[in-house]
A and B are shown apart, each in its own frame.
Chain A
Amino acid sequence: MFELLVSSIPLAIVASIPLLLAVEGELVVQRSGMINLGIEGMMLTAAMTAVLVAQTTHSLALGFAGGVAGALAIAALFGVLAITLRADQIVTGTAINLLALGGTSFIYREVQSLVQQVPQLRTDAVLPLAWLAIPLVLGAILWNSSFGLRLRACGENPEAVAATGRSVANYRWITLAIEALLVGIAGAYLALALSNGFAENMTAGRGFIALSIVIFGRWSIKGALLGTAIFGLTAAMQYALQAANRGIPFHLLLALPYVVTLLILCGVAGRVRAPENLGVRRR
């Protein structure tokens, strides 16, 4: 069992990059007081746009840019509804997920003619980016800068921030942009590096798992890294267990990540202190 665990580590680190990026992005957004349930749809859209751009331009870099563009489009939609129109964030997020699910299936089927070999990613600059650079930068910004202080205040008591003459909406738009950047890379990485192109519903709930990890990690960077590490390890063990042919049915192994996430949510013992203003609609 222990060898299975250890041998799963390299895979875990790489395979959970999209998840980690999503956790980091959602963390920033939730710290400003919003819940973006549509992160699932955002990643799915990013995966599709990344593949489409990569296929048409034969350039990986442009593919990643395409992923970010797709994510930004979704972020813009969410922002207009949740920030400008002050709509309920849960309903908006759910609608966006459905939109992305149906939309990507529809669009991808339309452009089937473009299905070609997707250029494979060889250098892995994304790994240290996700596991080292971004956590450090986000941590510094959130906890050691005046911008981050005000951002965190938006998530606790937006009226106090408004009283200093600043726009809470602007802070939230910025966090959505940051999230779109990270999730765009995540979706692109998922499709271009971890898989062989786009497939319907390929994100398979990673967005929701990311949301769960943000909570488990108590909205902190360290918690995000720890939570993703734990999850990633158990998810990677899924493959190791399969390969080791221990007699656990294939489909139950597929359910393992979700059951583990449920347990993770259970393990948040005691009162979890979310940012006080999280998800509250501004009147």
Chain B
Amino acid sequence: MIQLAHVTRTYGATRAVDDVSLRIERGEIVALVGENGAGKTTLMRVAAGEIAADAGTVAAGGRVELVHQHFMLVNQLTIAENLALPHPGFRFTTRRGIEREAEQTIAASGIELRDVARRVAELSVGERSKLELIKAIARKPATLILDEPTSVLTPTETEELFRVMRRLADAGTAVVFISHKLPEVLAIAQRIVVMRNGRVVAESRAAEANVVSLANTMTQSPFPPSGGKGVERRRGGEILAIVGVAGNGQAELAAKLRDEQPNAAHIPEDRTRDGIIAELTIAENLALRNERWNPRDAARHAERTIALYSIRASGPLQRAGDLSGGNQQKVILARELERRPKTIVAAEPTRGLDIEATRFVHEQLRAEAANGASILLITSDLDEAFALADAIQVIYRGRLSERLSPAEASEKIGRLMAGVA
């Protein structure tokens, strides 16, 4: 079990966690829900002892294990070697020896993962997620915290995970499950805690909650309605959504299209690494696709763009790296869209953005489609896909399904994402 009392944690000027008190009992399954940036991950990192609280106390009855959203695996080592990594002290090992140990550890966890001689690089995303879970369970924690564990799992794998969670809870482990996927949360959790802007704003028994009421509590404004396209498309513009669990070849697809279609607009998935050049100014970033470079013209053009897109910046000469995520995305969008492209490939364009920025991006995409552009939207967010798409294809292990209408897709999506025909 674990008890947090008046925990506060600030990062610079923001209170990521603001006076939160929470108690989780042995054998409970508690879901911690909230929007991006609500403070869920920070709170749990404090609970796990990874970071310190600036105020308040944490009392844990036993070991606390946190399974991160981003994998802490060594890709070039095998499953067995990854499991052997935390082993204390110095000892000589043999390949067969650690493989046998790994098999034992996996068997004890109750999770299925075959062939421990495989390198992590060869595993599917779901298998990697399982490995992370096995690592955590092997340390026999009293409290297990899972951060967005289902974001990379197919519906079948999610069911498997829930079975493991129930088994652990029945054996006495306290399980905390961070998620923003409300339907799942209702399926597995006994108690639901809602966070917003660093505070706990609601707590309820799962039996008493429903999706809409939860969603409203999570956000300040009403949940954007899904479905509905509004304006009729003219001149052949359309939005084709490629949906799938992250890690099934989306990045490779986007990169391939980038190389094959240099005249199209490309919005990369990883904004900080692939989208913005942090050391260059906003004006320079906007000008990267230009033929000519003239600092004064570029600055003037950047000023216009900043106004047009409502970018929060101190001026055209501000370092692009200093902007917030949403504003950086606007710069990338502006740069790509001002070429009036006929084709747009947008990969996870609203990842990590808040409601307002997300709405802006969706508006831009819809506007471009209305003007006749054909848009390929690669996303793992089903809500986004169904909100925008005229047609849907599912990607699984690098292969695309047939084209489906949104209606067909909503029926088949679960199976297709799991790779079942």
Q: Chain A interface (Cβ within 8 Å of chain B)?
A: 140, 144-147, 149-150, 152-153, 156-157, 159-161, 163-164, 273, 275-276
In the assembled complex, B277 has its CB within 8 A of some CB on chain A: no
Closest B residue to A152 by CB, please name it: B77
Cβ–Cβ < 8 Å partners of A145 in chain B: 90-93
B76 in contact with A149 (CB, 8 Å):
no
Q: Say yes or no for B226: interface residue by CB 8 A criterion.
A: no
B315 to chain A, nearest CB (A): 27
In the complex, which residue of chain A has the Cβ closest to the Cβ of B86?
A: A164
Binds A, one of B67-75, B197-205, B300-308, B334-342: B67-75
Using an 8 Å CB-CB cutoff, how does the interface string of B66-107 with A read, 1 for contact, 0 for none? 000000111111000110111101111110000000000000
Taking a contact as CB atoms closer than 8 A, the residue among B73, B75, B89, B93 that contacts A149 in the complex is B93
Q: How large is the interface on B (under 10, 10 to 19, 20 to 34, 35 or more residues)?
A: 10 to 19
Cα of A149 to Cα of B92 in the assembled complex, Å? 10
A160 pairs with B85, CB closer than 8 A: yes
Contacts of A146 in B (CB 8 A): 84, 87, 89-93
Told that A145-B91, A146-B91, A157-B73 touch, could you supply 10 new A-B pairs with CB distance under 8 A? A144-B93, A146-B87, A146-B92, A149-B81, A153-B77, A156-B74, A160-B73, A161-B85, A273-B76, A276-B75
Residues of B within 8 A of A157 (CB): 72-75
A–B complex contacts, Cβ < 8 Å, 7 sampled: A146-B89, A146-B91, A146-B93, A153-B77, A160-B72, A160-B74, A276-B76
The 6 closest A-B pairs by CB, nearest first: A164-B86, A163-B72, A157-B74, A160-B72, A153-B74, A156-B74
Residue positions of B touching A, CB distance < 8 A? 72-77, 81-82, 84-87, 89-94
Once the chains are docked, how many angstroms separate the CA of A247 from the CA of B91?
Answer: 57
Q: Are A149 and B94 in contact (CB under 8 A)?
A: no
User: B90 touching A156 by the CB < 8 A rule?
Assistant: no
Secondary structure type dominating chain A contacts: helix
Known: A157-B74, A160-B72. A144 touches B85 (CB 8 A): no
How many angstroms between the C-alpha atoms of A157 and B87 in the bound complex? 17
Alpha-carbon distance between A257 and B87 when the two chains are bound, in angstroms:
45
B188 to chain A, nearest CB (A): 26
| Given A146-B84, A149-B85, A161-B85, A156:B77 Cβ within 8 A | yes
Whether the pair A140, B77 counts as a contact (CB closer than 8 A) is no
SS of B interface (majority): loop
Instruction: Report the minimum CB–CB distance from B201 to chain A (whole Å).
Output: 31
Alpha-carbon gap, A150 to B81, bound state (A): 9
Task: State A82–B82 Cα separation when bound (angstroms).
Answer: 27
**Which residues of chain B are near A149, meaning CB under 8 Å?**
77, 81, 84-85, 93
- Nearest-CB distance from B86 to chain A (Å)? 4
Residues of A contacting B81 in the complex (Cβ-Cβ under 8 angstroms): 149
For A152, the chain B residues whose CB sits under 8 A away are: 77
Contacts of B89 in A (CB 8 A): 146
Return chain B residues, CB-CB under 8 Å to A276: 75-76
Q: Which residues of A are found within 8 Å of B85, using beta-carbon distances?
A: 149-150, 153, 160-161, 164
Question: What residues on B are CB-neighbors of A160 within 8 Å?
Answer: 72-74, 82, 85
What is the bound-complex CA distance between A273 and B74, given in angstroms? Answer: 14
Q: Which residue of A lies closest to B94 (CB)?
A: A144
Least CB distance from B48 to A in Å reads 11
In angstroms, Cα B84 to Cα A140, docked, is 16
- Give Cα A273 to B119, complex, Å: 14
| B92 CB contacts on chain A under 8 angstroms | 140, 144-146
Which A residues touch B94, using CB under 8 A? 144
Bound: A140/B90 CA distance, A: 13
Interface centre among B72, B74, B81, B92 (most CB of A within 10 A): B74
Nearest opposing residue in chain A for B68, CB measure: A163
Question: How close is A157's CB to chain B, nearest CB, in angstroms?
Answer: 5
Asked if B93 contacts A156 (CB within 8 A), the reply is no
Q: How far is the CA of A236 from the CA of B386 in the complex (A)?
A: 70
Residue of A nearest to B87 (CB): A146
Q: Residue of A at shortest CB range from B89?
A: A146
Give, as a whole number of angstroms, the nearest-CB distance from A164 to chain B. Answer: 4
Cα distance, A235 to B82, chains bound together (Å): 42
Bound: A204/B25 CA distance, A: 68
Distance in Å from the Cβ of B388 to the closest Cβ of chain A?
35
- A275: nearest residue on chain B (CB-CB)? B76
* Chain A nearest Cβ from B102, distance in angstroms: 12
**Which residues does chain A contribute within 8 Å of B72, judged by CB atoms?**
157, 159-160, 163
Q: Which residue of B lies closest to A161 (CB)?
A: B85
Give Cα A156–Cα B72 distance, bound, in whole angstroms: 11
A275–B74 Cα distance when bound, in Å, is 11
A125 CB → nearest B CB, Å: 26
Q: Are B75 and A156 in contact (CB under 8 A)?
A: yes
Query: In the complex the two chains form, what is the Cα distance from A163 to B74 in whole Å?
Result: 11
Shortest Cβ distance from A167 into chain B, in angstroms?
Answer: 14
Q: Which residues in A have their C-beta under 8 angstroms from that of B90?
A: 145-147
Question: Which among A146, A156, A159 has the greatest number of chain B C-beta atoms within 10 A?
Answer: A146
A75 to B73: give the CA distance in the assembly, Å: 30
- Chain B residue numbers with a CB within 8 Å of A153 are 74, 77, 85
CA distance A163 to B65 in the complex (A): 12
Chain A residues in 8 Å Cβ range of B93: 144-146, 149
Q: Could you tell me the distance in whole angstroms from the C-beta of B190 to the nearest C-beta in chain A?
A: 30
